[in-house]
Structures are given as structure tokens and as C-alpha cells.
Amino acid sequence: MSETINLTLRVWRQKGPRTQGSLETYKAIDISTDMSFLEMLDVVNEELTVDGKEPIAFDHDCREGICGMCGVVVNGRSHGPEKGTTLCQLHMRHFSDGDTIFIEPWRSKAFPVIKDLAVDRGAFDTLIQAGGFVSVNAGGAQDANCLPVPQEDAEKAMDAAACIGCGACVASCPNASAMLFVGAKVSQLALLPQGKPEAAQRALSMVRTMDELGFGNCTNERECEAECPKEISISNIARLNREYFKAGLFSSVM
């Protein structure tokens, strides 16, 4: 049953990428426990607006846990306390009356803050551009059923492909590594016959680009897997390492 709670919010406010930010305090009053976290922020923003203050900037779009646009650190946890849940799918019934909630942006060199809680994740697009695709032009494909894929492989590929590119893995990692994100894409395509011809090139190029963009190294902390809202498995990182190793050993595309 729905009830209402009162909360204290400590929210990171920062005017722009090059300005200093700080935590500001706001009250969130009469919050229905059926609200989503973002709807709670909407309510606070409406009040700030009416009071002549600037509302809190935060990214969001689908509010269904699929676009990967939302994401902040809630009480030190990426996307908040619920496992396997994006911020937009987190509901206020997981908080209690009187709680103080700390709300901060993703923090990583590769994701500079744009304003308040919104960050620039363009580095993820650059990573995909480095090889997260199969080189096939529109028009030339053969009949789809000419290429059977064992169901198990297809399912595993789908598990990896479920990544929404939100960046929580990077934000949660002590090294700000993007290995889970890259591992998911490399795995999806390595598991499918379509991805095989370019597998070596892909693994090498994506890993190299990851380094260039300022993401850190993976030291097996497993925070990424724990905080990933789509529960992408770190077995994808192991597969990425194998693909990378294989590419280095057997290919001429270094």
C-alpha cells in the first residue's frame, strides 16, 4: 500500500564542467512510496522552480530502464540500493521516512560533469566506433536462416547485448575501468558467427581505444558486476581477455 515519507536530500550541484561543485540540502516532503526516484526529483524540481531557484539537472528519457540515459550515485551506490535496477526503476518504497539521501553524479575522468548530475558519456560512443560493429552494408545480406546459431550461443549473446550503456560499471569501479561495457560488446559479437571475421581487430582496437580515452585498468574488483542494472556478468570480461589474447597471439592486425 502506498504511504508518504519525508526525506532530506544532499544533492551535488555544479554549474558546469569547469566550475567547482558542492552538496546542497533540500527537503523532499510528502513523497509517495509508489513514486520512482526520478518522480521524486521531479517533485523537488517543481518546488525549486516555483521558489525561483534553478531545478536540479539530471539525465533521463525512457524511464523504463532501457535507454541507459539515467544514472546517479545514491548513497554511494550507482543507481541506488536495489540490485539489477536502473535509477528510473528504483521506487521510493525502498527508502524510509526521515532518511537522508546523498545524490551525486558518476565520477570518472572519462565522464566529465556537464551540470549537476548530468555527465558526458561520449567516450562510450567512441568505444563502439572503435569496433563494436559488424562491417555489413545495407542491401547485401543473405537469407537470415542460412546462418543457424546454436540457441545457447544466441542466448549468451543476448545476455551480453542487454547492456544499456549507462556507465554505472565505470562509476562503480575504483579504477574507472570500462571493461564490463567493452567486454559485453566484444562477447556479443564473438559469440555469433557474424562477428567472427573481425573478432581480432575488434578486441584489439576497442581495448586500445579504452586506454586512450582515460579509462582505468581492470583489477578484478567486481564492483561493476555488482552495480550493473542489467546484471551483465563479468564472465564477459574473461571472454574479452581471451579474445584480446588470441588476437595478439594469432593475428597480424596488431
Q: Is 179 in the site for ligand SF4 (CB under 6 A)?
A: no
The per-residue DSSP string of 80-111 comes to -SSTT--GGG-BGGGS-TT-EEEEE----TTS
- Sheet arrangement for strand 22-32: 22-32, 4-13, 100-104, 73-74, 77-78
Q: 125 is in the binding site of which of another protein, ligand FES, ligand SF4, none (Cβ under 5 to 8 A by kind)?
A: another protein
Q: For residues 57 and 5, is the Cβ–Cβ distance under 8 A?
A: no
Contacted entry of ligand FES, another protein, ligand SF4, none for residue 70, CB cut-off 5 to 8 Å set by kind: ligand FES
Kindly report the length of the chain. 254
Given the C-alpha cell 520512482, which residue does it identify?
36
**Which listed residue (87, 166, 182, 218) binds ligand SF4 by CB under 6 A?**
166
Nearer to another protein among residue 84 and residue 219 (C-beta): 84
Site string for ligand SF4, 190-229 (x = CB under 6 A): --------------------------------------xx
52 belongs to the binding site for another protein (CB under 8 A): yes
Interface size with ligand FES, residues (CB under 6 A): 13
CA distance 2 to 138: 50
* Residue 103 sits in the site that holds ligand SF4 (CB under 6 A): no
Other beta carbons less than 10 A from residue 204's beta carbon: 19
* Binding positions for ligand FES, rule: CB under 6 A: 60-63, 65-70, 86-88
